[in-house]
Structure 1
Amino acid sequence: MTKQFHDNTLSHEALEQLFLEARSYNGWLDKDVSEDQIRRIYDLLKMGPTSANQQSARFVWCKSQDAKDKLAEHASEANKKKIKTAPVCVIIGYDIDFHEQLPWLFPHTDAKSWFEGDVEGRIEHAKRNSALQGAYLMLAARALGLDCGPMSGVDLNKVTEDFFADQPQYRADWICSIGYGDKETIFDRSPRPDFNKFNRIA
């Protein structure tokens, strides 16, 4: 009996929303992002795969004006307004002691023991997997009809000190404003390379 395979490809409209027409925004419309929307973003992004389900990312969703102003103090001049005027700006950090959570996150085996005594190894794993989760965050936000403005132009040490002071095992890595993007604040899309430029099939 021949197996039947179904084409589960997303519609072109969905691909445009997630990738083809999606942009990184520099300015925002005056439209709120609710706590419910924030929770929906997280409930989607947490389903993305991480190594041994380590879920190493730690997020601070700066929604109040005080929190956004505090974060903007540590940003480059060009990024301050992008933070202050966004409905929400999320700090994507990582937990260098993520392995402490593995007994319940990955109960199939003693994964915690793989990382004990290896701080440098944990940092490497935490940074890689939290970066993945940050990418899932952007796709989740776009899937829910929101726009993103990812940024790395911040003093990460000061962001860590200010927002993770009570959790010394956490480190800030980058930030991303989320809201409804103002199309007047973006320029023409920069070039994207063809497949053959940076790829090969071995």
Structure 2
Amino acid sequence: MARVTGTKRSILDAAVELASLNGITGTTMEDVAVRAGVAKGSVYYNFSSKDKLFEQLLLDGVGTLAETLREARGTKTGTPALRSMVDAILELVASNQPMAKLIAAEIFRTDRSWQSPLQLVRREALAEFVAVIQHAHPDRPDAELMAGTVFGAVLVGGIEWLVFSPDRSLQEVSDSVMFMLSGNLTA
């Protein structure tokens, strides 16, 4: 994935910060311009509309997530693959809380203009979990649903950790998530 730099990067960074504070609806292109330190015309030059700005932002964020999950899984299978991907998501959440909040808020919305392209990239990210699940249980017809459930639990668990339990280490949170996923939670 090509890295965005310069003015465009400043605009995207400002947009994610503002959206994590005010939501997308509460964020204006003028607010983004002020936060990015650029003229409002520069925002519109780079992104023809607010929808295009947030579409690009979310596609970049979920695309980075998919790439990170691919790298984390590598050639691993089973529990080592799952642990590696859980840790990778938690590290991403910790390193970019505003983006994690934005993805958590938008990934399940169906009323946004960017939902269709976002779902394609989401499916790419979930494919890494699907591969692990199908390797362990090739006859499961619901691997994609299970992958979405794991992804959602780890993403929201990561945000929960950073907002309400920031004193816990990544290792503690990862261990808790893995315990939950092991099926021992109610045993």
Q: Comparing both chains, which one has the higher relative contact order based on Cα–Cα distances under 8 Å and sequence gaps of 6 or more?
A: 1
Is TM-score (shorter-chain normalized) higher than 0.5?
no
TM-score (norm 2): 0.26
Higher helix content, 1 or 2? 2
Higher strand content, 1 or 2? 1
- Pair member with larger Rg: 1
